Amino acid sequence: MKAVRLELLQQMPLFGAIRDDALAALLEPAIETCVERGQYFFREGEPAQAMYVLESGRVSVLRLWQGHELVLGTLGVGQCFGEMALLDLAPRSASVRADVDCAAIELRPEHLLALFERDAEQFALIQMNLAREMSRRLRITDDLLFRARMGEPADAPPLDCRAA
């Protein structure tokens, strides 16, 4: 199982250029979290305590608006969610619900701290990758906000955020 998890992380941009031994050390204390269809990994407004890497299943990312849950997007195997929990102390900005039975690797800030104490260089690479991923997502969100303000439909083709 550890080899499968290691391979899953190696394919993710968040863990790009991270050595196998550093990933193995990060995975060692990580636990598998299983969530049944229709249940939540976490809800908007709850304390943020972990990031998750989806090993199996599919989830929906949701926000509350005027008493209704609206789907922002869906994520599948090999994608992560809740990564802001590794960077700030703010409550969850969205909810994540299992669309089908799911299993995920749960990574907590203390797991990254242990990696920092073991190998500061590999820790720094993960932090840089995390910043890049959050920057990519922010660019997409900025594009969507701009388009909404300009009156474009939500399903219009996205701008190429790589050029910005």
Q: Which helix (H) or strand (E) holds 147?
A: helix 120-149
Report d(CA 87, CA 93) in Å as an integer: 13
Residue 114 belongs to a domain = no
Give the closest residue to 51 by CA, choosing from 10, 92, 7, 2.
92
Task: Tell me the per-residue pLDDT of 36-75, one tens digit each, with 9 for 90 and over.
Answer: 999 999 999 999 999 999 999 999 999 999 999 999 889 9
CATH number of the domain bearing residue 130: 2.60.120.10
Q: Where are the alpha helices (DSSP H) in 28-75?
A: none
Asked whether 144 and 72 are in contact (CB, 8 A), the reply is no
Domain count of the fold of the chain = 1
Token pair in block for residue 21: 């031994």
Residue bearing the bigger pLDDT, 157 or 123: 123
- Cα separation of 140 and 135, whole Å? 9
- Beta partners for 154? none
Taking the C-alpha atoms of residue 78 and residue 83, their distance in angstroms, rounded to an integer, is 14
pLDDT digits (tens, 9 = 90+) for 78-133: 999 999 988 888 999 999 999 999 999 999 999 999 999 999 999 999 999 999 98
Is residue 41 one of the residues assigned to a domain? yes
Average pLDDT score over residue span 7-31:
91
76 is a domain residue: yes
Which pTM was predicted? 0.85
Angle at 18 between CA 12 and CA 22, to 5 degrees: 115
Q: Is residue 65 part of a domain?
A: yes
Residue-range definition of the domain harbouring residue 30: 2-108+122-150
- Quick count: other Cβ atoms within 10 Å of Cβ 137? 13
Structure tokens at 141: 């969100």
